[in-house]
Chain A
Amino acid sequence: MQRALHIDPGKCTGCLQCEMACSYENEGLFNPAKSRIKVFTFHHEGRFAPYTCTQCADAWCQKACPVDAIQIDRNTGAKVIVEARCVGCKVCTIACPFGTVNYNTASGKVIKCDLCGGDPACAKACPTAAITYIDADWTGLDKMRAYAEQSLAGTA
């Protein structure tokens, strides 16, 4: 059974422990600006919502990449940036309709969630279980993916 990140915004307090854990895992620094997961604040509503890549089955970023720099991690199903191949053209950043691939100005390459190879640091760091890493069936992500693919690509 493939696992996926499950996000429950109702439990999020906006503390950004996930962003620090993510950036520390990936960049070796506590740097929310480089986090692959971002917490958005809905000030007026009083809500916080962590947000990251859902690892679409048929990933738009991957298809749009001109140089085969987004590949699938066979263990986790994650779509992973192959740093050595990414030229930094940013086509994936506009192709991903979820906005979850971002350009890193420091490295000149793009970054996205890679599920930390199957042990996501964000989920471990979250103090309220707003982010958990669970069986994909339970996340509702499949529905979201299907919806995304239909609405963007036609009714295949």
Chain B
Amino acid sequence: MAWTRKILRVDLTNGTCTAEALNMAWANEYLGQRGLATKYLSEEIDPKCDPLGPDNKLIMATGPLTGTMASTGGRYSVITKSPLTGLVACSNSGGFIGAEMKNAGWDMIIFEGKSPEPVYLYVENDGAELRSAADIWGKTVWQADEILHKKHQDPQLRIACVGRSAEAGCLYAAVVNDLHRAAGRSGVGTVMASKNLKAVAVRGTLGVGNIADPKGFMDAVNAGKQVLADNAVTGQGLATYGTQVLMNVINGMAAMPTFNMKEVQFAGAEKISGEAMHEPRPSDGKPNLTTNAGCFGCTIACGRISTVDRGHFSVQNKPEYWGNSGGLEYEAAWALGSDTGIDDLDALTYVNFLCNEDGMDPISFGSTVAAAMELFQAGAITQEHTGGIDLAFGGAAALVKLAELTAKGEGFGRDIGLGSKRLCEKYGMPDLSMTVKGQEFPAYDPRAIQGMGLAYATSNRGACHLRGYTVASEVLGIPVKTDPLVTEGKAGLVKAFQDATAAVDSAGLCVFTTFAWSMENIAPQVDAACEGDWSVDRMLEVGERIWNLERDFNMRAGMTADQDTLPKRLLKEAANVGPAKGRVNDLDKMLPEYYALRGWSADGQITPETRARFGI
């Protein structure tokens, strides 16, 4: 079983919390978390609804392995309709609150309506109630976290919270849990704030059980842990350097989007790399990185715990930022650094702190700043617009200032809070927005890694590396090495990664396990935990069903297949250096094959046969 089989439904409009049984028929088709919550969302809301209106719903969902001893089994996702893309949003986070929800006895929490006043949800096992958030509204995530812990006098309380950016309507606001883990992308925090829901505080002491085959489960879990420990990436690389292990690798192969994706290599990459985070600083002899950290149940422990140099201009008069907190991940270091041309590790770390403290997706924030810098370079944005801030590429002080303003929703920060697409439209140069379906790109240039171009173009939540991470194959050789510059075979590769990832995301596991684990390692854990037969094939079928359901939701929301594309820059402007020099992304060579493999029509529609096959 592994599911608690219970859902908490929170009607924010009327202030009620009710328990209901999990729809097990759906659980058997969609497993949990991403898949199952998308099914609920898809059934319960009109996909055309205003994402920031009361008709949208927001679901916090766990998977069947969440809260178990399966390595990385602490994940949860926030599923809603995105205000950034207008499509389905599903943002996955680690930390501890997902497992805590499960320990409190809930597979998922569905929020609906809109509270007349700011509230937070307090859950203690079976008990759930909405309480006034009057004293935490307007506070940062970190401030609210401290206030709630003190108010409930429970250091073990797990809290997910939105920051001031979400309250101010920043369209890529995150839901931050456990101070520095985040359901980061697509503006799920913006939706939460739009419902006047500031935080969710959970305490669970009931335990997670319902394991169908306890002995088989522990055997599968232990075998899985051993595979992770023995693998160079999950056993060593990620613990030592975190995802930042990639900075020098990707930059070295000239696949590092730089200056708003104009270029593919960043001269300052080494200074903001995982290796640099280990270097002692001249000022105090301490490295940026204090330690690595694991999320709930994670035996990889890629998390970064860092400090900013106390003498750095960003914090020198702010002792509240002198302690340790969540440090730079690769995507943040890239978006805040490489894409903006900033190689100041302390500035990036501080801005990363602010992204956590006020709940902003650092990828979208950094990319939007990069777009603003290019608009500034082009003269479309001037210092009159910015309130005097010089937005030249490479300006660390400007980045810091914009982070502070966007976090609070003040001044030019309000424009940065629009995201790259709306910003570029507002200032008359929409082609400068490096987005797919309204969402900003992550840190792999699709001219140098062809498969990622297709992954971005077809991702159901807009540009994203976590929907089909073909980098694993095209760069790292996992599970097999493919040439990043060729397009042949990439359609199948992308589809395989997309389906597998959807299944992993729905199980309650972290996708980073797949550096070492194949579905052959994952399915036995799900199979032993859950009722019924969960073979590799069934897991992949579930993944494919989820992918089609997300597509279906998006099409019903008004998306068209011509949005399965990339910004002109990536299709027309060739890479300037490196092995891909002279190349653009050849999306048109991959997309038709992809549609065919998906069982979709040539114009990207899910065919009746495919619908029938997956029951959509």
Contact = CB atoms under 8 A, between A and B. Distances in A.
Given A31-B208, A43-B324, 16 more contacts: A13-B303, A15-B294, A17-B69, A17-B299, A20-B297, A30-B103, A33-B204, A43-B323, A44-B324, A45-B290, A45-B323, A46-B291, A46-B306, A47-B291, A105-B205, A127-B301
Nearest to A42: B324
Interface in B205-223: 205-209, 214, 218
15 contacts: A13-B239, A13-B292, A13-B293, A13-B294, A15-B295, A15-B301, A17-B297, A20-B297, A30-B67, A31-B208, A43-B325, A45-B324, A46-B290, A47-B291, A127-B229
A112 interface: no
A23 interface: yes
Given A33-B156, A127-B299, A27 B207 contact: yes
B307 A29 contact: no
Nearest to A15: B294
Contact of A31 (B206, B297, B305): B206
A83 to B, nearest CB: 18
Contact of A15 (B67, B206, B298): B298
Contacts of B204: 33
A129 to B, nearest CB: 11
Interface of A: 13-17, 20-21, 23-24, 27-34, 43-48, 105-106, 125, 127-128
B301 A31 contact: no
Interface of B: 67-69, 71, 96, 99, 103, 156, 179, 204-209, 214, 218, 225, 229, 239, 290-299, 301, 303, 305-307, 323-325
A29 B208 contact: yes
B69 A125 contact: yes
Nearest to B291: A46
Contacts, number: 89
B103 A21 contact: no
A43 B325 CA distance: 7
B293 A48 contact: yes
Contact of B179 (A16, A21, A43, A106): A43
Find the residue from A21, A44, A105 having the highest chain B CB count within 10 A: A44
Nearest to B323: A44
A61 B301 CA distance: 36
The residue among A23, A34, A45, A46 with the most chain B CB atoms within 10 A of its own CB is A46
A20 B291 CA distance: 22
A24 B296 CA distance: 15
A31 B298 contact: no
Contacts of A106: 205
Contacts of A44: 323-324
Contacts of A30: 67-69, 103, 207-209
B208 A13 contact: no
A14 B299 CA distance: 10
Contacts of B156: 33
Contacts of A27: 207
Select the residue from A21, A43, A106, A125 with max chain B CB neighbours within 10 A.
A43
A46 B205 contact: no
